[in-house]
Amino acid sequence: MDSLKGIDTNNLHHAYLLEDSEGMFAGLQSLLRDKFSDAEIHVREFDSFGIDDSRHLIHLAGMRSLGTQLFIYRALSCTKEAQNALLKLFEEPSENTHFFVCLSGIHNVLPTLQSRVWMVESEKVQGVNHKNNSSGKSFLHASSGERMHLLEGILKNKDVSGAGILLRDIEIELHTSKGNPEYNEALQNIIDVRRVLFDKGASLKILLESVALTTPRLS
């Protein structure tokens, strides 16, 4: 399915949050098993993913493995306590360990957790966002000076949520334009910025200026 094209199996991110939809969970397993036939793969489904489930996942992920570990989980819901428990795990996972969590309503997940994962939306949501991410498209086509002007409202109002939405829109637009190595570097920089965006003491101005000045301009 097209949604899974957002997962680059040659360069896996450490953690993915996927909007659950028909065929997503099965398609994800098929994709990863085909590519990583020798990996240690853990597959589980939950009605509600709670704090005890988070602790168990942290324990499993911390166990020494000789190769690649893939955790493919699916849950109808995930408690806030469980999400908070996963923050450090998703930020600093063990080497060659990757997480894939299929969940309904991924944008209802805590912003701090969203900032630490690669979001994979359903095809329906992707279509809507592709039409609505005009702010990200405008940002990428603008000069450095024009970008700073676009950021004025967010910076003046200290609108961290607005910054998160803009970064998501930029990420979506860059992802559809992949092919230029500069875009891959820019995507990684945006992931790094999103990871710390909601942290206490993070400088919104410095973070957004870094994106404005280092992200290549789209022609």
Stretch 84-101: mean pLDDT, rounded?
90
8 A C-beta contact, residue 9 and residue 27 = no
**Per residue in 168-177, pLDDT tens?**
788 877 776 6
Tokens found for residue 15: 């953690």
150 burial (CB, 10 Å; 0-12 / 13-18 / 19+) is middle
Transcribe 105-153 into DSSP letters: -GGGS-HHHHTTSEEE--HHHHHHHHHH-HHHHHHHHS-HHHHHHHHHH
Per DSSP, the three-state class of 18 is strand
Please determine, looking at this structure, whether the domain spanning 2-122 carries the CATH number 3.40.50.300: yes
Is residue 132 over pLDDT 60?
no
% pLDDT > 90, the chain: 43
More confident residue, 219 or 110: 110
Please tell me the pTM assigned to this model: 0.66
pLDDT surpasses 70 at 122: no
